[in-house]
Chain A
Amino acid sequence: MSTVSLPLQPSEVSVARRETVQLLLRSPTFVVGVVILGFWIFCAFFGSLVAPHDALDQSFPQLAGPGKYLFGTDQLGRDVFSRVLAGARDIMEVAPAATLLGILGGTTIGLVTGYFRGLVDDAVSRLVDAILALPLVVIAVTVLVALGPSKPTLILVIGFVFTPIVSRTVRAAVLAEGSLEYVQAARLRGESPLYVMFAEILPNVMPPIVVEATVRLGYAIFAIAGLTFLGFGVQPPSPDWALQISDNYTLLNSGTYWWTVLFPGLAIASLVVALNLVADSISKVLER
């Protein structure tokens, strides 16, 4: 590596950061992922503006094949292409919000349990094991039935289920840091536990948290799409992709109306694959 020939930087941190970015940009999978992801983020904000028609407009011929309408129309006579563009919004709101909630909760719990260990750790860890023992879909469906499906509930449920999973990762990282000298030094200086946890340890366990966040975001999309498909997630008349598939998949058996499900399906697939390419490259670079 030619690190020696680099011009002097204000601090080592920014050098490391620049190296990370350079390494990422050199990875083709990262670049491809970012481009696709960027497209869908654009659509989440402006999709309904750039779409040729209103996603809810039912004034078109029903179930017309691709041709005059780029991706065809669905059984209510809505333009599938416009719906695919506009459908990015809901999932791109709910999934990042749920992930953020899970990361915040999980990081806090992970820091506390990893730092104090002992009784707190034991109690919380058992609880975490108990929550993890049931499949996500089953927990989510029961809670969503009880509280009624809505976007805030969806965010809360997914965030709640992610919290213990994230806390495990953070706890493991904190345990590894806890015995290091800088932590002991801070303790001996008489710093409060809160300061040691958030100002000393947290910055040092950021790489695994960032990786965990990207991975969780992928799972969030996976889970929310699945729940929406089952009817417990985003509600009609949203042009959400999973909802489009859920509305139209029963038409598939006849074999003729494939465009109503294929295009939203490809949209979800491209989004999650792009996200995973990005997550994979970030974790490779940060954990090198």
Chain B
Amino acid sequence: MLVFAAAQLLPGNVGRNILGPFASENDVKILNHQLGLDRPVLTQYGDWIWKLLQGNLGSSLEYQGTSVSSLLGPSLVNSLKLAAVAFVLVVPFSIFGGVAAALRRGRPADRIITLTGLSLTAVPEFVSAILLILVLGLWLKLLPVTAQYPSGAGFFTQVRYLLLPGLALVMVLFGYIARMARTGTIEALDSDYVRTAYLKGLDTSTVVRRHVLRNSLLPTIAVVATQMGYLIGGLVVIEKLFNYNGIGQRILTAATNKDFPMLESGVLVVGIVYLVATLAADVLYSLLNPRIRYAAAE
């Protein structure tokens, strides 16, 4: 609980941090006056927080008169679409990979899966994305090389356009999640209850399905949640590479153009999304793990 309380305070602090150094760099004084940027930093910040509490994110400095929320909203939806595609791909892939590796522990197949995962994880996402674009997009011509689907495209077309950027994120995440799934599975395989299950005469597939998987997937869910932070950062890079209009692009342009309301709100939104995802994973974790559920009830 304390962790959450501390993290809740965070976006505000970051907002102030960003504002501090920038406030001295305002050259265009008249414009600044119009925008209220020549007021003391704390006043601006207080103003921003006050409006925020009323649900108003302010208006963008770059796109005059356009409200931040009307620009951020669609971008957030776009980013979530991309993240969803990546997630739907990565979770089954990496859990399958991890469990498969664990069941063949120490054999070549295990080594190959582990080392591949490790290597893919280490390669920066824009590098793997470039390789994917070259191979799948340009040489084999399987997938479109831009992420921005034509407007009004149907569900499947959208997914098709998002597959390539999604895959690039998958390559980075696969290693972590597969490794956790592998560790969890090995731990479960070594346990007494699995030995008991085998001695009861159950066949391997039943043991794996009913006894191993249930226990091994718990730590995996936890690690999926910790990767949310990375996923958001990865989105920034991937969105730029594919010129995709998501929240990462918004934050990036806002940062380059010193569009503070946009930047602050973008970072705030990212912080909130991150918290919600972590919380959701915590809840899911306790729902799936009777031990934690009972401990909390006592």
Q: At the interface with chain B, which of A82-90, A104-112, A140-148?
A: A140-148
Q: At the interface with chain B, which of A71-79, A182-190, A250-258?
A: A250-258
Q: Which of B115, B134, B240 contacts A29 (CB 8 A)?
A: B115
**Which of chain B's residues has its CB closest to A127's CB?**
B6
B122 contacts A145, C-beta separation under 8 Å: no
B122 contacts A273, C-beta separation under 8 Å: yes
Question: B residues bordering A, Cβ < 8 Å?
Answer: 2-3, 6-7, 9-10, 13-14, 17-18, 21-22, 115, 118-119, 121-128, 130-131, 133-134, 138, 145-146, 229-230, 232-234, 236-237, 240-241, 251-252, 255-256, 258, 263, 267, 270-271, 274-275
B124 contacts A222, C-beta separation under 8 Å: yes
Instruction: Please name all residues of chain A whose beta carbon is closer than 8 Å to the beta carbon of B267 when the two chains form the complex.
Output: 134, 138, 142
B13 contacts A136, C-beta separation under 8 Å: no
Taking chain A's interface residues, is the majority helix, strand, or loop, or is none over half, making it mixed?
A: helix
Instruction: Please name all residues of chain A whose beta carbon is closer than 8 Å to the beta carbon of B10 when the two chains form the complex.
Output: 130, 133-134
**Docked pose: A265 CA to B129 CA in angstroms:** 10
- The distance from the CB of B149 to the nearest CB of chain A, in whole angstroms, is 15
A225 contacts B127, C-beta separation under 8 Å: yes
**Docked pose: A146 CA to B251 CA in angstroms:** 14
- The distance from the CB of B270 to the nearest CB of chain A, in whole angstroms, is 6
* Contact A138 B3, CB 8 Å, known A225-B127, A272-B122: no
B275 contacts A226, C-beta separation under 8 Å: no
- The distance from the CB of A178 to the nearest CB of chain B, in whole angstroms, is 22
* Contact A146 B22, CB 8 Å, known A222-B124, A242-B124: yes
A252 contacts B134, C-beta separation under 8 Å: yes
**Which of chain B's residues has its CB closest to A141's CB?**
B255
- The distance from the CB of A92 to the nearest CB of chain B, in whole angstroms, is 15
Instruction: Please name all residues of chain A whose beta carbon is closer than 8 Å to the beta carbon of B145 when the two chains form the complex.
Output: 252-253
Instruction: Please name all residues of chain A whose beta carbon is closer than 8 Å to the beta carbon of B121 when the two chains form the complex.
Output: 276
**Which of chain A's residues has its CB closest to B119's CB?**
A273
A230 contacts B13, C-beta separation under 8 Å: no
A276 contacts B122, C-beta separation under 8 Å: yes
Question: A residues bordering B, Cβ < 8 Å?
Answer: 29, 126-127, 129-130, 132-139, 141-142, 145-147, 218, 221-222, 225-226, 229-231, 242, 245, 249, 252-253, 255, 258, 261-262, 265, 268-269, 272-273, 275-277, 280
Q: How many A-B residue pairs have CB under 8 A?
A: 136
- The distance from the CB of B73 to the nearest CB of chain A, in whole angstroms, is 19
Pull 19 A–B residue pairs with CB atoms less than 8 Å apart, ordered by A. Answer: A129-B6, A133-B7, A133-B271, A141-B251, A147-B21, A218-B122, A222-B124, A225-B124, A225-B126, A226-B125, A226-B237, A242-B124, A242-B126, A245-B126, A265-B130, A272-B124, A275-B122, A277-B115, A277-B118
**Docked pose: A85 CA to B14 CA in angstroms:** 39
Instruction: Please name all residues of chain B whose beta carbon is closer than 8 Å to the beta carbon of A258 when the two chains form the complex.
Output: 134, 138
* Contact A269 B236, CB 8 Å, known A29-B115, A146-B21, A258-B134: no
Instruction: Please name all residues of chain B whose beta carbon is closer than 8 Å to the beta carbon of A136 when the two chains form the complex.
Output: 229-230, 233
* Contact A249 B125, CB 8 Å, known A126-B6, A133-B271, A141-B251: no
